[in-house]
Amino acid sequence: MNYTIESARNIFSSTQVADAVPATTAMFAELNIDDQLAFLWYAYAELGRTITPAAPGKANLQLMEGIFNEIKQMSHEEQTQLMRDLASNADTPISRSYAYFGVNAKLGFWWQLGEWMKEGIVAPMPVGYQMSTQVKAVLEAVQKIDQSQQITVLRNTVVNMGFDPSLADKKQAQINFKFPRTSLSPQFTIEGVTEPTVLKYIEAMNADNFEAAVALFANNGALQPPFQKPIVGREAITAYLRDEGQGLVMKPTKGVSETIEDGYTQHKITGTVETPWFGGNVGMNIAWRFLLNPQGQIYFVAIDLLASPKELLNLTRK
């Protein structure tokens, strides 16, 4: 059998992913702009009752100092308009700069605005704000999902802001955050999997060594992030990982390896992944579905956010 990226996407097809994430993100997108901003405020505040993101570090925030100074000098009305412009993908200078921030820079930008909203430096939620029934419905939906899914919804909404989000796929991020690692890479063994390429991939990712991780891919190989289409080719994968892979801690625990046709092998590994924003407080349940070519290179890997912890045990082929 000759594999294509399209056919490779179906390996280990019984994997149950967290469908509630795209469903909730779609509900959010239906809200009007003020309701979207209000939803984010309440969802973030609600999350903050149990976990709060770590401060992104001075060096990272300094990368956006110019824009932050501009914002601090604005009136509350202007700040509110700025937030509306970002959420509605309006074409304004700040909204354009934002579109070129890396994912973590976008999150860091809103983290800072959130802090300033609490302090009253940036326009807070209006006193006496009455939540609409639509906002209530999305909040209820988000309360039903687990924290790793909640933070994924929040992250998706922030990523889609700014002018013009479609540019985000084609560009090299101009502001990229770095998260210095505070501890040694975690030691791991994957029960059931000894394939060197898979082990080297995890090791490289746990050291932010994206060049080493990408060298494991075939030239025409692809990486499929959760809820996204495959990213094809080494150059595009490197740009993606430099932006989104920083500071992740991957803790794979078990897996299964099988030889299939023509010397190809497939491997499904499950475990948890921690983001530098929430550290060990949120362990995201993840599956990696690898298809290796006969040379042992990664032809395809899908990263899935799993529907439930129970899915960590699902290593069946079909």
In the list 8, 11, 63, 154, the residue contacting ligand EQ3 (rule: CB under 6 A) is 154
Rounded to the nearest whole angstrom, what is the least distance from the CB of residue 317 to ligand EQ3 in the complex? 21
In the list 63, 158, 214, 287, the residue contacting ligand EQ3 (rule: CB under 6 A) is 158
Q: Which stretch binds ligand EQ3 (CB under 6 A): 7-15, 189-197, 241-249, 291-299?
A: 241-249
Site for ligand EQ3 in 48-77 (CB under 6 A): 53
Rounded-to-integer distance, Cα 93 and Cα 96, Å: 5
In the list 250, 291, 298, 307, the residue contacting ligand EQ3 (rule: CB under 6 A) is 250
Residue 221 near ligand EQ3 by CB under 6 A: no
For the chain, what is the HEC assignment? CCCCHHHHCCCCCCCCECCHHHHHHHHHHCCCHHHHHHHHHHHHHHHHCCCCCCCCCHHHHHCCHHHHHHHHHCCHHHHHHHHHHHHCCCCCHHHHHHHCECHHHHHHHHHHHHHHHHHCCCCCCCCCCCCCHHHHHHHHHHHCCCHHHHHHHHHHHHHCCCCCHHHHHCCCCCECCCCCCCCCCCCCCCECCCCHHHHHHHHHHHCCCHHHHHCCEEEEEEEECCCCCCEECHHHHHHHHHHHCCCCEEEEEEEEEEECHHHCEEEEEEEEEECCCCHHHCCEEEEEEEEECCCCCEEEEEEEEECCHHHHHCCCCC
Residue 28 near ligand EQ3 by CB under 6 A: no
Query: Nearer Cβ to ligand EQ3, position 23 or 262?
Result: 23
Rounded to the nearest whole angstrom, what is the least distance from the CB of residue 46 to ligand EQ3 in the complex? 10
Tokens of 145: 């999902």
Residue 37 near ligand EQ3 by CB under 6 A: yes
Burial of 236 (0-12, 13-18, 19+ CB in 10 A): middle
Residue 249 near ligand EQ3 by CB under 6 A: no
Residue 113 near ligand EQ3 by CB under 6 A: yes
Q: Which of 318, 310, 308, 264 is nearest to 290 (CA)?
A: 264
In the list 117, 173, 306, 307, the residue contacting ligand EQ3 (rule: CB under 6 A) is 117
Residue 248 near ligand EQ3 by CB under 6 A: yes
In the list 11, 64, 82, 107, the residue contacting ligand EQ3 (rule: CB under 6 A) is 107
Residue nearest to ligand EQ3 (CB): 114
Q: Which stretch binds ligand EQ3 (CB under 6 A): 21-29, 37-45, 131-139, 170-178?
A: 37-45
In the list 114, 230, 247, 271, the residue contacting ligand EQ3 (rule: CB under 6 A) is 114
Residue 255 near ligand EQ3 by CB under 6 A: no
Residue 188 near ligand EQ3 by CB under 6 A: no
User: Total residues contacting ligand EQ3 (rule CB under 6 A)?
Assistant: 32
Rounded to the nearest whole angstrom, what is the least distance from the CB of residue 112 to ligand EQ3 in the complex? 8
Specify whether the CB–CB gap between 208 and 245 falls below 8 A.
yes
Query: Nearer Cβ to ligand EQ3, position 151 or 307?
Result: 151
Residues lying near ligand EQ3 in the complex (CB under 6 A) are found at 37, 40-41, 44, 53, 83, 107, 110-111, 113-114, 117, 151-152, 154-155, 158, 205, 225-226, 241, 244-245, 248, 250, 273, 275, 277, 284, 286, 303, 305
